[in-house]
Chains A and B, each alone.
Chain A
Amino acid sequence: MRTYVISRLIQAFITIVIAFAFSFFLFRVIPGDPTMAITGDPRLPAATKQLLRMQFGLDQPISTQFYMYLLNVFQGNFGVSYQYKVPVSQILGTRLLNTLILLVPATVLSVLLGITMGMMAGWFRGKRIDTLLTSAAILSWSAPSFWGGMVMIYLFAVYFRFFPTSGMMGYNVFNSNWWSNAADILYHALLPMITYSAMYSGEYALVLRNALSGVLSEDYILMARAKGCTGSQLLRRHALKNASLPLVTLIGMSVGHLALGSITVETVFNWPGVGRLFYDAIFYHDYPVLQGAFLIFTVGMILMILLVDILYTYLDPRVRLR
């Protein structure tokens, strides 16, 4: 058990190092002159260019540059933003917090919604409610999330005016107390959260429905029915326990949606998180920020998968014994 955790930790660390190296060479491919990207001035004199190259260490051999890059990145130093002119790590800190405020509840909500939908569909398999829920799940699964966000804003913020269209806070609550700030943030976060759950719960529902209907066709369920188990007893004692392993798979899947969901939902709702930062960095050609946001997504996902894998060993004895 301990050896498994340690080996997984080492593996995750190696993956992170490779991802950092990958990102270094990816951003090296960028066509054009890096001094152009910094100043944006094509009439730059050659001497200034040379000075800039020296300042940024671009005159060093590539191996030295790579070593410096790794050293910096592991210390959380991602360079200076072209657009904001402040260190990238400084921007990333607050942005990451905003993203977590939005995405942690949204993920929980989407998983809960998916489980409920999947359980109902699996239990009433073949009935009208199953058809309804499964079609809804397929729609949610096939719709692109950025488009879903646009439709939700149009419907619930522009047409019905239930929610604010974008942003994280209104303008009228500054200088007020902590509670009204929190309430305002929640009010702004509600529609993005609902959108996120609506876009991603469909896939979870489909997985759980298939798992549950697989379990329900087993012989021991028939046996339990013959013994005289009522519906809820059957579901609680016999079916759900055996359908719970896909649940962990499902949590792993939800980790995989975080990066894309953050980019699409935050961009559409103008939520100042890492995803919106990523979008703006593309728009303004802000390479250091783009790289920083990409690395944050990568490290986040690798660590989350590590967590899910370790969780899995606790839940599934078969993995533990191996």
Chain B
Amino acid sequence: MSESSRSGARKVSSIDLLKWRLKVYRKAVKNFWIDYRRSKSALAGLGVIIVLILMSVFPQLFTTYDPYEIFTRPLQPPSLAHVLGTDDMGRDMWSQLVYGTRTSMIVGFVASFLSFLIGIVVGMVSGFKGGIVDAILMRITDFFLSIPSLPLMVVIAFVLKPNLWNVILAITIVVWTSPVRVIRSTVLSLKERLYITRARVLGDSNTRILVRYIAPNVLPIGFATMVLAMGWAIPSEAFLSWLGLGDPTRVSWGMILYYAFARGSFSAGAWWNFIPPGLMLLTVVTAFTMVGRGMEEVLNPRLKST
């Protein structure tokens, strides 16, 4: 067989390979969904998250009021006009809740996506390289795990200017350790698999092994940790805002709680001012945890026992 025909055959097969790969991925997603569908709580969580995403993208669909506009006298209890009453400045509570969803979702998504990226890079390098690199990276994560993370987050947010990006940065610095650990341990177990040894014997470079064989197997579990990290990042944003360190130009659930706590509608017993945002937070955290757990259970069969 001549050299040219050989490379020609390869070109054809590379397109086929791509098609074949897409087919494999589609099938994997389909299989994932079939397994995922079995868990009722994971489905319920997914439903809640879809509603919340809709709320944050199209808040106008859920409320007709502007969250910043002052409508009536302050601290009106719930009525037909204002379903959840008004706050201490006479602004509609329900529309503040709806618009607050956007802040929570943005902060939660960006912070956990950044942690996911850090987790993928640091976890894969650390798990695959081993040796001194692994030791140094793991010492750094150990350090972050052995100091109190939430006070650290507060101090970082306090030192920086209060805006959305700094809040995200402060949260990311605290959240990134758990994806790193999960991904590193997954890589460590993958590294011992036979097909990795085979690829190595066939002369594949480290980068190629990482990209071709390790990454596709690590990404799904990485996504699961990212969803779980959202369940951490969203209440963390609320905590920072409640301390008065959130972005003052944006409505958020934590900000509503901050105003309720610091400006006296809490002391005045106006329950419609502080119960609803907390219930929203509770729902969001439960939903993301259920989806994350559901994903983990499908992807990591060892968890199914309980």
Contacts and interface: CB of A to CB of B under 8 A. Distances in A.
Interface of A: 15, 18-19, 22-23, 26-27, 29-31, 138-139, 142-144, 146-148, 150-151, 154, 158-159, 210, 213-214, 217, 256, 258-260, 263-264, 268, 278-279, 282-283, 290-291, 293-294, 297-298, 301-302, 305
Contacts, number: 112
Contacts of B160: 29
Contacts of B154: 263, 278, 282
B151 A294 contact: yes
Given A139-B282, A147-B257, A282-B245, A217 B305 contact: yes
B150 A259 contact: yes
B108 interface: no
A294 B159 CA distance: 13
Contacts of B36: none
B94 interface: no
B159 A27 contact: yes
A301 B146 contact: yes
Interface of B: 143, 146-148, 150-152, 154-156, 158-161, 231, 235, 238-239, 242-245, 257, 260-261, 266, 269, 271, 274-275, 277-278, 281-282, 285-286, 289, 305-306
Chain A residues touching B, majority SS = helix
Given A138-B286, A147-B281, A154 B244 contact: no
A282 B244 contact: yes
27 contacts: A15-B143, A15-B146, A18-B143, A23-B155, A31-B161, A138-B286, A142-B286, A143-B281, A144-B238, A144-B278, A144-B282, A144-B285, A151-B274, A151-B275, A151-B278, A154-B274, A154-B275, A214-B305, A259-B150, A260-B148, A263-B154, A278-B151, A282-B158, A282-B245, A290-B155, A294-B152, A302-B146
B148 A29 contact: no
Nearest to A302: B146
A150 B260 CA distance: 10
Contacts of B269: 154, 158-159
A258 B148 CA distance: 9
Nearest to B271: A154
Contacts of A264: 239
B257 A143 contact: no
Of B148, B235, B274, B282, chain A has the most CB atoms within 10 Å of the CB of: B148
A69 B257 CA distance: 37
A316 B102 CA distance: 47
Nearest to B152: A294
Contact of A26 (B150, B156, B281, B289): B156
B155 A26 contact: yes
Given A154-B271, A210-B306, A301 B147 contact: yes
Nearest to A256: B148
B147 A30 contact: no
Given A213-B306, A214-B305, A301-B147, A142 B282 contact: yes
B274 A147 contact: yes
B289 A298 contact: no
B243 A279 contact: yes
Nearest to B283: A142
Given A282-B244, A298-B148, A150 B274 contact: yes
Nearest to B281: A144
Given A143-B281, A147-B274, A151-B278, A297 B146 contact: no
A144 B150 contact: no
A150 B305 contact: no
Contacts of A26: 155-156, 159
